[in-house]
Amino acid sequence: MRNLINILDLSINELDELISVASDIMDNPQNYADKCKGKIMGALFFEPSTRTRLSFTSAMMSLGGQVLGFDQAGSSSVAKGETVSDTVRMVSAYSDIIVMRHPKEGAPIVASKVASVPVINAGDGGHYHPTQTLTDLLTIHKKKGRFDNLTIGVCGDLKYGRTVHSLISAMSRYNNVKFVLISPSELSIPDYVKEDYLNNSKYVEVTDLEKAIPELDVLYMTRVQAERFDSVETYERLKDSYILNHSKLASAKSDLSIMHPLPRVNEIDVDVDEDSRAHYFDQAMYGRYIRMALILMLLKTHGVDDRRGTGVEIEGKVCKNPHCISNSERGIKKLFNSKSKCIYCDQ
């Protein structure tokens, strides 16, 4: 079974292929209209979504396929206490590919261990969001024409921002990429991202957005993730840490790419929307095409079994991350890799 749990599940050659197919779909959509005729996508959204759910739905329908699923856990038997494992086992009997968003980190790994069809991670808590990264990569390809030799500013909630974690892991594989990580210290990038993806990349951690702007080729703004905070007071204090507006862009490069995975709250003023460097709405639009390319790739890939679950139990050891699926899902083993990190959430 071929799944997409982490963006690094795709090689650089496969990313190039996805970008090439997505570009061809944009130019020749009629050639793809029946490619998934007779196929069904199960869309399991345990958390709210506009872009990811609807662009996946649009992608499958544009390929001639059909979609079933739910857009809130409360309308499924999860509300009666059913586990992720049992839910996914059932939906794999009703569909050919599963797209799943879940608030618990590592939930897609649990799903991939029991599913009989490919599983796509559409966002797991504050952990990863690999298909957003595919959208981001297509945007960078279209707007900058390269992945090497870029200085990328990532601004906002770098602690809980799953899109940031996946983007950094993807871009760290390219040459001469420098990351400027702009956040309040309380929302800085987690250690596991630094240890696993930034050990061979140039990066600086700063708090001042305006000082950072002049050197950037890409500025990736993010929302402070209200839903991940344990304290409302902390969220209220940090939520407007950065607000990009027209005047702050005065010192930016003329070919800067301003990106945002959306939804935005206050972090980009609407006065930036008319700036030719504002690429976030194009970025969301590209999501439909790169997801079409991904569905085609995963449905045609057979014979590779990349089910997760490699790791060992360590007597008495549990994951300390309260948001990890291993602390809420009944009946799964608590597994750790050779570095003693939880295999579900990497912490």
Q: What's the CA gap between 248 and 198, in Å, rounded? A: 28
Q: What's the CA gap between 48 and 204, in Å, rounded? A: 33
Q: What's the CA gap between 180 and 205, in Å, rounded? A: 6
41 — phi, psi (to 5°)? -105, 130
The helix/strand/coil state of 310 is coil
**Residue 89: CB partners within 8 Å, gap ≥ 6?**
114, 115
Interface with ligand CP, residue 51, by CB under 6 A: yes
Name the one range near ligand CP by CB under 6 A: 49-57, 73-81, 203-211, 308-316: 49-57
Helices (H), the chain: 12-27, 51-62, 84-94, 107-114, 130-144, 162-171, 191-197, 209-212, 232-238, 280-300
Distance in Å, CB of 331 to ligand CP, minimum: 29
Closest CB to ligand CP among residues 203, 229: 229
Interface with ligand CP, residue 139, by CB under 6 A: no
Each residue 254-283 as x (binds ligand CP by CB under 6 A) or -, in order, gives -------xxx--------------------
Closest CB to ligand CP among residues 97, 167: 167
Residue 281: how many other CB atoms lie within 10 Å: 11
Q: Which of 2, 3, 46, 49 binds ligand CP (CB under 6 A)?
A: 49
Interface with ligand CP, residue 132, by CB under 6 A: yes
Which residues participate in catalysis according to the annotation? Answer: 51-52, 80, 101, 129
Closest CB to ligand CP among residues 54, 198: 54
User: Which tokens is 272 given?
Assistant: 């930036």
Contact positions with ligand CP (CB under 6 A) in 169-208: none
Name the one range near ligand CP by CB under 6 A: 20-28, 46-54, 225-233, 250-258: 46-54
Interface with ligand CP, residue 126, by CB under 6 A: no
Interface with ligand CP, residue 52, by CB under 6 A: yes
Interface with ligand CP, residue 161, by CB under 6 A: no
Residue carrying structure tokens 């079409």: 292
Each residue 288-307 as x (binds ligand CP by CB under 6 A) or -, in order, gives --------------------
Residues 283-307: b if buried by 16+ CB within 10 A, e if exposed: bbebbbbbbbbbbbbbbeeeeeeee
Closest CB to ligand CP among residues 159, 334: 159
Name the residues that contact ligand CP, by CB under 6 A.
49-52, 123, 132, 261-263
